[in-house]
Amino acid sequence: MAHDAAHAHDAGDHGGHHGHPTGIMRWLTTTNHKDIGSLYLWFAGIMFLVAGSMALIIRAELFQPGLQVVNPDFFNQMTTLHGLIMVFGVIMPAWAGFANWQIPLMIGAPDMAFPRMNNWGFWVLPVAGALLIISLFMPGGGVAGGWTMYPPLFIQGGISYDMTIFAVHILGASSIMGSINIITTILNMRAPGMTLMKMPLFVWTWLITAYLLIATVPVLAGAVTMLLTDRNFDTHFFNAAGGGDPVMFQHIFWFFGHPEVYILILPAFGVVSQIIPTFARKPLFGYASMVYATASIAILSFIVWAHHMFTVGMPAAAQLFFMYSTMLIAVPTGVKVFNWVATMWKGSMTFETPMLFSVAFVCLFTIGGFSGLVCAMTPVDIQIHDTYYVVAHFHYVLVSGALFAIIAGVYYWLPKWTGHMYDEKLGKWHFWLSTISMNITFFPMHFLGLAGMPRRYADYALQFAEFNAIASVGAFIFGASQLIFLWVILKAIRGGNKATDQVWEGAEGLEWTVPSPAPYHTFETAPVVK
């Protein structure tokens, strides 16, 4: 401590503000939870533009039958990286940014429990993101094996595959560090009187999410390590010729991968459960049932993984088990939807941008849930597995689900983060364009999948042309409308109407559990510890 204080004193002598480094060193060395939250959010935003551009390359190629824009190999590299970056480089870091910004404020903690590990957990992310993008330019070409990294596709291929495996390891390490930090902060640093059952729902969803991450990410690490040794050291874990089993990889991967989709969506449930009560001017309906439903979803997520594998030749008993357990997970999810609707019921609702995105979330995420039930039925899934029906299903869950909740949360807390109100009119433009174009993009994919169009193909039969053209037009409108979002954020950071202590008028103190007036600027500097 004395050494730290002396060091801070030296920094002060060299012109640092209050003994703090400035410029780039401030961001590289910061241990302030708000700074790190902002870094996560900006990283997620940049990666969103990168992975979104990849999606637009995919949709440009699929605009009409035949090969127009890219060759099939590059097309597969785009699908692979789009998936990996969107999951590990956009949604997860965005939620980490929300966790860093909001959890200490919501539970009355001065900062996160392990501030230096917090800094490290963020700064390994750009390295992993760079590895993924640079892999495209390696000799032997980029990774065309799919974001799920299935062997034997992932056992062949050049150095780009090893880079991708390394990147996944780094991303996993970041997730584990963040999760340890979040669990410790929530369990040990709550303000006096804040019992677990008084915590805001967002804090609850992240506590449960962090446990899921710690339980599953090491499983993914094991799977990709076995892939790495299969590739480079002639182990034969997944190589049938050497006595291995490629289906074993799927079991290990999806034992991580299914809880992972709940890792992506549970914080969204938390954010929406903060926003809807505010704009309905009512407390959340069924707080305790929401907490238990979230925990139930987390526990059940561990016993449904092989519903991703109904076509690998499992015994009928296993197929029945995974079918029924998957349908069971719809129950706590339905409880949540019921509670959100009941919260809005007879509320004095207003429809500012965060509320619009939250209502869209409830409606469209529910569509994604219903198509998930369709996929859960084994005989149906055998028909639609690996078709565009599945693509439609998970994009309804992850775009109008996770992504819309992230956008809603950004609009909701932007006044708190920047001290300025965002432009409401532009926010509403962003909402309507995003929501309409998202449905134009992904709804026709249900029909394509039911008609039998397989995913991950650069070319397709003539019968699928119209729906693909519609989907591609929707995708480009969706992509363009995200530029409005970027402009709204930059505008709020640069200035605008001052945010008051009570941003959302008439919310009667439902806004933030721990009152925290909007700072004069975004980042309060922490006092130097003597």
The residues that are catalytic are 82, 111, 147, 174-175, 258, 260, 262, 273, 307-308, 333, 336, 455
Q: In 3D, which of 35, 37, 24 has the Cα closest to residue 178?
A: 37
Q: Contact, 83 vs 147, CB < 8 A? A: yes
Q: Give yes or no for a contact between 161 and 143, defined as CB atoms under 8 angstroms apart.
A: yes
DSSP symbol at 139: T
408 closest CA partner among 95, 39, 55, 109: 95
Q: In 378-423, where does DSSP find H-type helix?
A: 378-384, 388-397, 404-418
Q: Which amino acid is at 319?
A: Q
| Residue 227 Cα distances to 34, 86, 148, 158, angstroms | 37, 22, 12, 13
- Could you give the CA distance from residue 154 to residue 261 in angstroms, rounded to a whole number? 22
**Rounded Cα–Cα distance for residues 117 and 133 (Å):** 25
- Report the phi/psi class of residue 508: left, alpha or beta, with left for phi > 0 and alpha for psi in -120 to 50: left
In angstroms, the CA 432 to CA 305 distance is: 35
Smallest CA-to-CA distance from 388 within 316, 325, 468 is with 468
Q: Count the Cβ atoms, other than its own, within 10 Å of residue 360.
A: 21
CA distance 448 to 433: 23
**Among positive and negative, which fits the CA dihedral 33, 400, 209, 84?**
negative
Contacts with 481 (C-beta within 8 Å, 6 or more apart), sequence order? 429, 430, 433, 434, 437
Q: How far apart are CA 396 and CA 228, in angstroms?
A: 33
CA distances from 503 to 107, 414, 508 (A): 19, 10, 11
* CB contact set of 7 (below 8 Å; sequence gap of 6+): none
Single-letter amino acid, residue 62: L
Cα–Cα dist 42/266, whole Å: 21
Structure-token pair, residue 96: 């980490």
Backbone angles phi, psi at 40, to 5 degrees: -55, -45
Structure tokens at 166: 């390394």
